[in-house]
Structure 1
Amino acid sequence: MNTKRLIRRKEVEQLTGLGRSCIYARMSRNEFPKAIPIGGRLVAWDESEIQQWISDRIEAAQAA
């Protein structure tokens, strides 16, 4: 089963090691997955997109 999961900013920060301002700055430069509005001012991220972003960073570091 391919279950999609939305994760909130605190979990994104824990997974990536990035802080809030860095996440939003990278989003504005299209260097990080976009947040998904989930109601009111609440946003979340697709966990699979975050995991792919992490994998891409690891691959790039290993290729360097």
Structure 2
Amino acid sequence: MAYIRINQIAERLGGIHQSTVWRKLSTDPRAPKAVRLGSRLTVFDEAEVERWIAGLVEAARRNPAPRKLPDTDAIRRGAATRKALRQAAK
């Protein structure tokens, strides 16, 4: 049985921050359970982590996050506001 640490899980999840990994682990009931080997050492079963990540990937493929493009009117308003601010600064 191989064990991995939280920083290795963060790398496997695309380099996200370790605190984000801890948050995902604490909110997902399917997440692997931590194994405390000491007061400052926590590891996870590598096979469980791999299954969990595979489940996350599969869920993302089944239900992708919607992509919201910016509203063109909002872009124009933003550009007009920036132009007005530049002129006022002159």
TM-score w.r.t. length of structure 1: 0.75
Q: Which runs of 5+ in 1 are unaligned?
A: none
Match of 1:22 among 12, 20, 23: 20
- Structure of larger gyration radius: 2
Deviations 1:31-56 (A, max 9, x none): 13232101221011111111011110
What SS does the corresponding residue of 1:23 show, helix, strand or coil? helix
What's the counterpart of residue 35 of structure 1?
Answer: 34
What SS does the corresponding residue of 2:32 show, helix, strand or coil? coil
The structure whose RCO (Cα within 8 Å, separation 6+) is larger is 1
Deviations 1:1-32 (A, max 9, x none): xxx11001221111112321111112222x13
TM-score w.r.t. length of structure 2: 0.57
Question: Which protein has the bigger strand share?
Answer: 1
Q: Which runs of 5+ in 2 are unaligned?
A: 64-90
CA distance in 1, matches of 2:60, 2:22: 22
Question: Which protein has the bigger helix share?
Answer: 2
Match of 1:8 among 5, 9, 12: 5
